[in-house]
């Protein structure tokens, strides 16, 4: 079992397993799920919604030349989570690395996301 859990590097997110003698039974929770957890650090560079209570965080990582590159965003944050994170964010200063950038509001849309740049100081784990 442990050997198959190393497959996460090829894109497997989790493993569902059951006893060999256990049959599938609809609406019965008898199988086990093992989630593969990989963590990585990312820096909050912008938020959607209010900086005091953001709805989503736009994340980046520094490349080899020291430039903050966009790597993705969070799903919509719960209100309590947004309020907690908002207390650690500060407005962006002049010369923010993403000044002038635009971000898509979603897949298959040309609409841009309404966002606020913040100081790239808060690091989060994914």
Contact 47, 81 (CB under 8 A): no
**Mean pLDDT, range 41-45, rounded to an integer:** 94
Gap between the Cα atoms of 67 and 87, Å rounded? 25
pLDDT digits (tens, 9 = 90+) for 13-33: 677 777 788 887 777 777 887
- pLDDT at position 125, please? 73
**Mean pLDDT, range 117-124, rounded to an integer:** 92
pLDDT at 2 over 60: no
Tell me the two tokens of residue 108.
């298959």
Q: How confident is the model at residue 11 (pLDDT cuts 50, 70, 90)?
A: low
Phi and psi angles of residue 84, each rounded to the nearest 5 degrees, phi first? -65, -45
Q: Any idea where the domains of the chain sit in the sequence?
A: 3-35, 41-125
- pLDDT at position 42, please? 93
Gap between the Cα atoms of 62 and 122, Å rounded? 13
């Amino acid at each position: 079992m442990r050997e198959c859990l190393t497959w996460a590097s090829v894109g497997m997110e989790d493993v569902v397993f059951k006893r060999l003698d256990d049959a599938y039974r609809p609406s019965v929770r008898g199988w086990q799920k093992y989630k593969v957890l990989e963590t990585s650090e990312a820096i909050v560079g912008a938020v959607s919604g209010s900086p005091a209570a953001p709805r989503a965080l736009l994340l980046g990582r520094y490349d080899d030349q020291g430039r903050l590159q966009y790597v993705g965003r969070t799903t919509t944050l719960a209100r309590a989570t947004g309020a907690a994170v908002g207390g650690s964010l500060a407005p962006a200063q002049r010369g923010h690395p993403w000044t002038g950038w635009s971000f898509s509001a979603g897949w298959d849309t040309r609409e841009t996301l309404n966002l606020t740049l913040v100081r790239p100081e808060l690091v989060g784990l994914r």
